[in-house]
Amino acid sequence: MKKYSVSYLYLVIVIFVSCQRPLIQGDILIENGTVYDGKGNAEFRGDIVIENDIIKWIGDAKLVETKCNEVIDATGKIVTPGFIDIHAHGNPLKTPKFQNFLAMGVTTIALGMDGSSQEVSNLESWIKDVDSTQTGVNIIPFIGHGSLRKESGIDNSKEVSKADLTQMTLLLDKALKKGVWGLSFGLEYLPGFYADSIELTALAKVVGQHNALITSHIRNEDNNAIVSSLTEMFNLSEFCNVNISHLKVVYAKGKERAQEIMSLFDKPFNSNYNITADLYPYTASYTGIGIVFPEWAKRPKTYGKIKQQRRDELLTHLRNRVNSRNGPDATLFGSAPYKGKTLKDLEEEYNLPFEQILADVIGPFGGSAAFFVMDEELQKELVKHSEVMIASDGSPTMFHPRGHGTFSKIIEDFVLQDSTIELAEAIYKMTGMPAKTLGLTNRGVLEKGMMADLLIFDPSEVKSKATFDMPHQYSEGIETVMINGLVVFKNDSVIIRNGKVLIRPESQKTMKN
């Protein structure tokens, strides 16, 4: 009987196996890329097959036989899940293209933030209209607390009866059953400003019954109020998952203060529910000018009467408030007719003290502005925390660079320039983490069976072009964007709009994280 060496037998086995390679068929093969899976794991060299709108296979194409209609060569590039913006703004019926998000690699955005959304009564028709418009990105709808107040007839009232509260909770329950992903608060704004703990708790219990998410602009982001404002939200985590929107600490400085704030996230708060936060990588916020006006000068008060009756008190408040927020130079208007001008510019233009301009010319509802009130060192320390993810709080039209630059700036500055976080972690904070926070189970990571929302790019080529002077410049460097299995954006151009309104599946509504 003839004998064969072990090495010879091994060679025969290898040849036999190579001749029996499995056949993987699909529509698109992405080959030779470096894959970041969106879970924070180390990158690996891999190939991806997409069929229809699903990731069918991930592996080494040399070990299988592939047959696809299109091949995309990702040599020298990374492949990641599409970025998910858990806190965004915009009107999909007016600006459905959302090129600002696509250019940053964002494939899904959450709308209905800061307490403002479509009313429950027209939610279904709104979803139908948005889907028929065909948006550039996927849309995740939230219901706004302020919108619930208005629809239930409470609006700016401080007094909420049991009947009023019942009506609001019924509306919330109806919205969640229709497929929204949670409830947004805007407690620094009207009418959310007037909500007390009884109201917040009642709503949180409904959100918890659906295992959905509360995401909140907290009551006060100033350094002397941040702890109590966060605690107010954290206490709701007894009933449901809670996310803190655009986390910042106004006036505070330094790593130590950031660490003190983030230590609050590590406390249990008597709950098994999740507590997370998102932020954007800029040191200026953007909101209505009403933020510098006192509560007693806003609705339901009549501003004209307040200005007459308490004028000196109003002017003193405005002067002190603006000066405490780094002065009139640190307020940059983003709305007409003052767009691009600081409050200091207006002071010189009108030849009046800025507090008089605010009181007599602009008023508490007369414009929006960027406020340079944040410390870069503190914000960069916040982003390192394991429960903090990235979100833009931006829109296609907002006069602030965050709507066109957030995700690119994270890669360009926070990863490559100063190594605040590693690339795999940054991608997790922009993909897998927001998906997990939302309860979005079929997007945000690259693995078999997931929806084919993904990006191909060279990180060293990613540039955030938007500035405070020119905030509407598109980011560069995201070479290819795929949404629901189709290439929708390539080489800085929108090819097709293939976004969808994502409805929260019924099966998730009774599941606990």
As a whole number of angstroms, the distance between CA 83 and CA 264 comes to: 27
pTM: 0.93
The residue behind tokens 């009774």 is 510
As a whole number of angstroms, the distance between CA 439 and CA 436 comes to: 5
Note down pLDDT in tens along the chain; length 513 residues: 455 555 565 555 545 555 568 999 999 999 999 999 999 999 999 999 999 999 999 999 999 999 999 999 999 999 999 999 999 999 999 999 999 999 999 999 999 999 999 999 999 999 999 999 999 999 999 999 999 999 999 999 999 999 999 999 999 999 999 999 999 999 999 999 999 999 999 999 999 999 999 999 999 999 999 999 999 999 999 999 999 999 999 989 999 999 999 999 887 666 679 999 999 999 999 999 999 999 898 877 788 898 889 999 999 999 999 999 999 999 999 999 999 999 999 999 999 999 999 999 999 999 999 999 999 999 999 999 999 999 999 999 999 999 999 999 999 999 999 999 999 999 999 999 999 999 999 999 999 999 999 999 999 999 999 999 999 999 999 999 999 999 999 999 999 999 999 999 874 554 444
CB burial readout 480-506, b (16+ within 10 A) else e? bbbbbbbbbbeeeeeeebbbbbbebee
As a whole number of angstroms, the distance between CA 381 and CA 371 comes to: 20
As a whole number of angstroms, the distance between CA 443 and CA 424 comes to: 17
Structural domain boundaries in the chain: 82-282+374-442, 287-372
CATH topology of domain 82-282+374-442: TIM Barrel (3.20.20)
> Which residues are CB-neighbours of 503 under 8 A, at least 6 positions away?
127, 178, 179
As a whole number of angstroms, the distance between CA 374 and CA 190 comes to: 23
The residue behind tokens 């500035």 is 467
Give me the DSSP letters along 239-275: TSEEEESS---BT--SHHHHHHHHHGGGS-TT-SS-E
As a whole number of angstroms, the distance between CA 17 and CA 163 comes to: 72
Per-residue pLDDT at 5 = 58
Per-residue pLDDT at 1 = 45
H helix and E strand count, the chain: 16, 21
Reduce the DSSP state of residue 133 to 3 states and report it. Answer: helix
**Contact by Cβ (8 Å): 33, 10:** no
Per-residue pLDDT at 97 = 98
Per-residue pLDDT at 266 = 83
> Which residues are CB-neighbours of 462 under 8 A, at least 6 positions away?
408, 411, 412, 475, 476, 477, 478
